[in-house]
Amino acid sequence: MQTTLQQPATFTGVGLHSGQQVSLTVLPAGADHGIVFRRTDAAGGGAVIPALWNHAVQTPLCTQLEDAAGHTISTIEHVMAALAGCGIHNAMIEIDGAEVPILDGSSRPFVMGFLRAGIAQLRAPIRAIEILHEVSVTHNGATARLSPATSMQIDFEIDFPDAAIGHQSMLLNMSRDAFQRELADARTFCRLSDVEDMRTHGLALGGTMENAVVVDGDRIVTPGGLRYADEPVRHKMLDALGDLYTAGAPIIGRYTGLKAGHALTNRLLRALFADPTAWRRVSCNRAMAARLPGQGGLLHATARVA
């Protein structure tokens, strides 16, 4: 069944790129509402922007939504990954600024906040997107692909010149609480050589050693080191899950990313929805729902019918 939160969950912090203090509250919503953002600081009672692929604009370092009036909400991928990974299908997200707070650089704070708030089942079936045939996009040596599978899977590969990252790959079946176990606490990362360049261009103004993993050649500069030996590829998988959730529903299929990023995943969704033979919407029975993120395990004990 579809889900939402039992009660609001609030998060405060700074935006990774803007450096601005912001407050974000995830509110319960009814069945088939989907995930929607509202900029409460916008004039006229707030700008409402659905968290959908066709509201995303092409940006290399984050996923950004924009409405027809030019209101934007950026760096949505970590909270979207937490919603997807926890199997939360409906929420109104109120935010008083233009960028989602980075918190510790992962999705873990969002997941913990959602679990504290409680997850409520709604009296409506989950409507998933089933991939029927392969769709692929390639740009500058990077590839993103969706192909048929019986569950949601993410297969990712990265290759960086820095020895502290190097070549990493991982394939994960995202069923049940796999996201919470394997990906949720993987933090965003960057190369020390890129930090000054980003700040010159007005980016990463809120980045610190507490909310990002910084690498320099073969060194992990961030105190405490990595949470996993392959934390960078796990975080890229986290990002991919959040970006894919802008499809507007869970996906039944395998996502394969080779050096892919936010913009390429959005291009993939645009290619998918441009081909009506490549996908279909399905109402999930209990067995199908169990193969999606967030069903069963830790979250099952917190759910109730609302």
Q: Which residues are catalytic?
A: 262
Q: H/E/C letters for each residue in the chain?
A: CCEEECCCEEEEEEECCCCCEEEEEEECCCCCCCEEEEECCCCCCCEEEECCHHHEECCCCCCEEECCCCCEEECCHHHHHHHHHCCCCCEEEEECCCECECCCCCCHHHHHHHHHHCEEECCCCCEEEEECCCEEEEECCEEEEEECCCCEEEEEEEECCCCCCCEEEEEEECCECHHHHHCCCCCCEEEHHHHHHHHHCCCCCCCCCCCCEEEECCEECCCCCCCCCCHHHHHHHHHHHHHHHHHCCCEEEEEEEECCCHHHHHHHHHHHHCCCCCEEEEECCHHHHCCCECCCHHHHCCCEEC
Question: What are the backbone angles phi and psi of residue 48, rounded to the nearest 5°?
Answer: -105, 125
Q: For residue 70, count CB atoms less than 10 angstroms from its CB and return exposed for 0-12, middle for 13-18, buried for 19 or more.
A: exposed
- Given a contact cutoff of 8 angstroms between Cβ atoms, the answer to whether 277 and 133 are in contact is yes
Nearest CA-CA partner of 77 in 114, 106, 113, 36: 106
